[in-house]
């Protein structure tokens, strides 16, 4: 069992508001704190979840909300109406980021996904907030959309599994990459090579809990406390000391989300 790190950690992507945590959210949060996870970014997936997410983040220190419309839940979204509501909501409820939004090539209605993504770009630019991007099998498409937008943006592409070159292109466009449980699996050889090669300034650590559990929790619900295992795996792959990597990734997150 990996012990608590000597410094605090930042889980840059965790759905602590998800119904999977309704029965024991307090215990999950306690265990995360005990493991050293001092701060979290909690991204919304649909407009209906924004009020509860706001209340959750207001109830505990170190919980930072992001509001957006996830591309895998298009049936819950009304494109123009919900984008207008998102802009108004963020105007009235301070947020650390816009998202979770993005593109998912395993989900239908690509054109709708693109329209919503471009709407999030506009809101993030107008509100001067970073984006939390989902890009399942869509890293090239996301890069293309960022270039087409043509205005400076910043953010993170979470659960990154692309190439070193794609990560470097995203970095040049103002985007970090989030690394989570998948990197802990031995079969993730390409991802492990990519993670070892990237500059520390471009990395964030995440769990994506309750999804994407690491190698030690196959078939289980993921939890933010398990971020320690991601930290140690990434540090070993890079030849970094875990404490140094923890400090740098927390600094990256706090800088990106302007929490200092």
Q: Sorting pLDDT into bands at 50, 70 and 90, what band is 157? A: very high
Average pLDDT across the chain, whole number? 97
Work out the average pLDDT over 28-44. Answer: 97
Position 2 in a domain: no
Integer angstrom CA distances of residue 162 from 65, 83, 125, 174? 26, 28, 25, 16
Rounded CA-CA distance 45/256 in Å is 20
What is the pLDDT confidence band of residue 2, given thresholds at 50, 70 and 90? Answer: low
What is the percent of the chain where pLDDT is above 90? Answer: 97
* Structural domains counted in the chain: 1
For 160-205, what is each residue's pLDDT tens digit?
999 999 999 999 999 999 999 999 999 999 999 999 999 999 999 9
Percent of the chain topping pLDDT 70: 98
Instruction: Judge whether 3 lies within some domain.
Output: no
Q: Given this model, what pLDDT does residue 6 score?
A: 62
Q: Would you state the pLDDT for residue 4?
A: 62
1 in any annotated domain: no
Does the pLDDT value for residue 1 go beyond 60? no
Q: What is the largest CA-CA distance in the chain?
A: 48
- Please give the Cα distance from 128 to 97 (Å, whole number): 9
Task: Answer yes or no: is 4 within a domain.
Answer: no
Whether residue 217 is contained in a domain is answered as: no
Q: Which tens digits make up the pLDDT trace of 91-114? A: 999 999 999 999 999 999 999 999
Would you state the pLDDT for residue 3?
Answer: 62
Cis peptide before 112 (omega within 30 of 0): no
Q: For 4-28, what is the mean pLDDT? A: 93
204 near 10, Cβ under 8 Å?
A: yes
Query: Residue 92: which domain range?
Result: 9-212+223-256
pLDDT score recorded for residue 160 = 98
Does 78 reside within a domain? yes
3-class DSSP state for residue 35? helix
Structure tokens of 124? 């993030």
Adjacent-strand bridge partners of 132: 156
CATH number at residue 197: 3.20.20.140
């Amino acid at each position: 069992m990996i012990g608590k790190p000597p410094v605090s950690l930042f889980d840059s992507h965790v759905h602590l508001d998800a119904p999977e945590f309704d029965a024991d959210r307090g215990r999950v949060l306690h265990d995360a704190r005990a493991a050293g996870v001092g701060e979290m970014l909690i991204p919304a997936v649909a407009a209906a979840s924004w009020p509860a997410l706001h209340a959750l983040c207001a109830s505990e220190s170190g919980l930072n909300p992001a509001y957006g419309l996830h591309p895998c839940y298009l049936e819950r979204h009304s494109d123009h109406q919900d984008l207008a509501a998102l802009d108004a909501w963020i105007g009235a409820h301070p947020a650390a980021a816009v998202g979770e939004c993005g593109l998912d090539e395993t989900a239908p209605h690509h054109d709708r996904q693109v329209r919503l993504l471009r709407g999030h770009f506009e809101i993030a630019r107008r509100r001067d907030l970073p984006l939390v991007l989902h890009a399942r099998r869509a890293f090239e498409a996301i890069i293309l959309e960022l270039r087409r937008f043509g205005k400076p943006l910043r953010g993170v592409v979470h659960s990154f599994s692309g190439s070193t070159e794609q990560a470097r292109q995203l970095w040049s466009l103002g985007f970090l990459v989030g690394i989570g449980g998948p990197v802990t699996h031995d079969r993730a050889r390409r991802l492990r090579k990519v993670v070892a090669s990237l500059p520390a300034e471009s990395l964030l650590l995440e769990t994506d809990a309750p999804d994407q559990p690491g190698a030690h929790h196959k078939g289980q619900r993921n939890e933010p406390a398990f971020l320690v295992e991601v930290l140690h795996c990434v540090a070993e792959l890079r030849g970094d000391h875990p404490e140094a990597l923890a400090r740098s990734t927390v600094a990256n997150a706090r800088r990106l989300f302007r929490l200092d």
